[in-house]
C-alpha cells in the first residue's frame, strides 16, 4: 500500500464514516491536535529521565489517544457501519486513579509552578498545553454536534493527569518544582 493516495490534493480528507470534509474543518482540527499531542507523548517516552512508572502510563496514553483520534474522526450520526474504538468512562477513571496515586506522594501545591525542572517534566507540561488546546477545539465542535459523553471529559482529565505527572517526574528525579516568582529581578547585571 502506498503512503500517498492523492485524494487529499483538493484540500479535503476522509472521515471514518466515508464523508469528505475540508482539511480545515473543526473536526479535523481537533483530531489533528490530538495527533500532535500523541506525538509529544511519544517523544516523552524516549526521554532518559522519564521514570519507568511514567513510561508505562505514557505507552497506555499513546494508545488511548489513538482511540480518541478514531473516536473524533468518526461522527456519531449517522451511526458508523463498523466498530470504532471510542473513549470510555473507564479511561477517565483510570486517569483519576493515577492522579490520586501520584498526588499522594507529592507535596501539596501552595504556589503556581512553571514548566521545568527535568526534561521529562517540561515536556509533560508542553503536552498539557496541547491537550488543553485539543479540549478547547473539542468544546467548540461539541457546540455544533454531539461528540459523545466522554471525549471532552477525557481531554480535561488528561490535562490534569499531565500536570500531575510533570510534578511527579520532578519528584521521582529528586528535583523541586520550579516556582513562579511574580516579582522577578530585572537586574541586567544578572544576565
Going from N- to C-terminal start, the domains of the chain cover 26-180
Check residue 156 and give its pLDDT. 98
Q: Which of 106, 102, 72 is nearest to 86 (CA)?
A: 72
3-state helix, strand, coil in the chain (%, to 5): 55, 5, 40
Q: Out of 1.20.1200.10, 1.20.1260.10, 1.10.10.10, 1.10.3720.10, select the CATH number for domain 26-180.
A: 1.20.1200.10
CA distances from 9 to 1, 5, 36, 73, 166 (A): 18, 9, 21, 19, 40
How far apart CA 157 and CA 95 sit, in angstroms, is: 7
pLDDT in tens, 101-130: 999 999 999 999 999 999 999 999 999 999
pLDDT in tens, 50-78: 999 999 999 999 999 999 999 998 888 77
Amino acid at each position: 500500500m502506498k503512503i500517498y493516495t492523492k485524494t487529499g490534493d483538493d484540500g479535503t480528507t476522509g472521515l471514518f464514516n466515508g464523508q469528505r470534509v475540508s482539511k480545515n474543518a473543526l473536526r479535523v482540527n481537533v483530531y489533528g491536535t490530538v495527533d500532535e499531542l500523541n506525538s509529544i507523548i511519544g517523544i516523552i517516552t524516549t526521554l532518559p529521565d522519564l521514570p519507568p512508572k511514567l513510561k508505562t502510563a505514557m505507552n497506555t496514553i499513546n494508545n488511548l489517544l489513538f482511540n480518541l483520534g478514531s473516536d473524533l474522526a468518526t461522527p456519531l450520526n449517522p451511526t458508523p457501519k463498523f466498530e470504532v474504538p471510542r473513549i470510555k468512562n473507564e479511561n477517565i477513571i483510570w486517569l483519576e486513579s493515577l492522579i490520586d496515586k501520584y498526588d499522594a506522594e507529592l507535596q501539596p501545591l501552595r504556589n503556581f509552578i512553571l514548566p521545568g525542572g527535568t526534561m521529562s517534566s517540561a515536556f509533560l507540561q508542553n503536552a498539557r498545553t496541547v491537550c488543553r488546546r485539543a479540549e478547547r477545539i473539542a468544546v467548540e465542535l461539541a457546540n455544533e454536534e454531539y461528540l459523545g459523553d466522554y471525549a471532552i471529559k477525557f481531554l480535561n482529565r488528561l490535562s490534569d493527569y499531565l500536570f500531575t505527572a510533570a510534578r511527579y517526574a520532578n519528584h521521582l528525579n529528586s528535583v523541586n518544582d520550579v516556582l513562579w516568582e511574580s516579582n522577578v529581578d530585572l537586574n541586567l547585571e544578572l544576565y
